[in-house]
Amino acid sequence: MKKLIVFLLVAVMMVSSSVMVFAEDNAEAIAERPQRTELSQEEKEAKREELFNLYNPGAYLDLLAAKEAHDTFHEDAKAERELVKAARQAEREALKASVEAGEITREEAQVIIEEKKAANEVLRGEIESIKVLKQADVESNKAEVQAVRESLKTALQAEEIDAVYVASLLDQMVDLLEDHIDIDYYYYNMIQALVAN
């Protein structure tokens, strides 16, 4: 029995030491890997500009215009949401003032509030349906962008870079951003049509 216990202890020590050696080798290999550094937004933009200027300078101006249009769309949409929010607040204040002035009773005001809540719930459901459709289109667009980025990365790592192919990929990137903007406007207009009714 003692021999068996001694044998097991020796076996455990040998296995654990070999595992430790393997772990040390792995740690060294991991430490030797080059660390990937994350670029700042300015550095990414500078690299993008350099790439476009090298292979497709005209498309860079199109990209900047599309980015500006995208930013403008989101700023305008945010401003519109703020206006709608302010209008709803004004409606609530007007309803409150009507009750205080005795023009309508509290019960009548409560009925109006409940009707608006019910209408808003229906509207929210319809808007959520539109948002689900938009999200599917946005995800599809993102997948296309990712595929073009991978193709671009592969093309730039090739032994001989095909400048015409790279230029066409950069054009596709601009087109996909413009498609994204079209998606934004399409679904925004759908929502606005619902809200207007």
Which helix (H) or strand (E) covers residue 187, if one does?
A: helix 163-196
Running along the chain, 197 residues long, what does each successive block of 10 average in pLDDT? 53 54 53 70 91 93 95 95 92 93 93 93 94 96 96 93 94 96 95 85
Q: State the residue for tokens 């215009």.
A: 65
Structure confidence at residue 26 (pLDDT): 55
Structure confidence at residue 25 (pLDDT): 54
DSSP letters for 121-176: HHHHHHHHHHHHHHHHHHHHHHHHHHHHHHHHHHHHHSSS--HHHHHHHHHHHHHH
Ordered by start, the domain boundaries in the chain are: 40-196
Structure confidence at residue 117 (pLDDT): 93
Structure confidence at residue 101 (pLDDT): 93
Structure confidence at residue 37 (pLDDT): 76
Residue 160 token pair: 């001989």
Residue 16 token pair: 């654990």
Structure confidence at residue 19 (pLDDT): 46
The structure's pTM equals 0.72
Structure confidence at residue 4 (pLDDT): 47
Cβ neighbours for 161, distance < 8 A, ≥ 6 positions apart:
155
